[in-house]
Amino acid sequence: MNNPEAEIKLQLRPRITETVSIEVPIDTLESLTKIATIRDMSVEALLKFYIGQGLRTDLTKAFSERLLDTTTT
């Protein structure tokens, strides 16, 4: 049986990273800072979240289009 009080451990696998520098308009950075504060997170974490969300969306779309192409030809 599932125990709702059982501790869930998230095991993250370390991945190699690379630092990327981008120029962002000041008003955009101010907006990011406001949203990050509301979400109680850093601007860096918010940017990573947005990038990950957009990337997953695009990868899902690309995969479904590729799958559709292979099943219709």
Write the pLDDT tens digit of every residue in 58-73. 999 998 888 777 887 6
Residue 20 located in a structural domain: no
How high is the pLDDT of residue 73?
65
The residue type at 22: I
Residue 55 located in a structural domain: yes
Q: Is the pTM of this model over 0.95?
A: no
CA dihedral 54→56→61→64, nearest 10 degrees, is 180
Residue 25 located in a structural domain: no
How high is the pLDDT of residue 34?
98
Residue 51 located in a structural domain: yes
Residue 12 located in a structural domain: no
How high is the pLDDT of residue 3?
67
Residue 56 located in a structural domain: yes
49 is in which domain, residue-wise? 41-72
Q: How many domains does the chain divide into?
A: 1
Residue 33 located in a structural domain: no
- Stretches where the chain sits below pLDDT 70 are 1-5, 73
Residue 15 located in a structural domain: no
How high is the pLDDT of residue 12?
81
Separation CA 59–CA 52 (nearest Å): 10
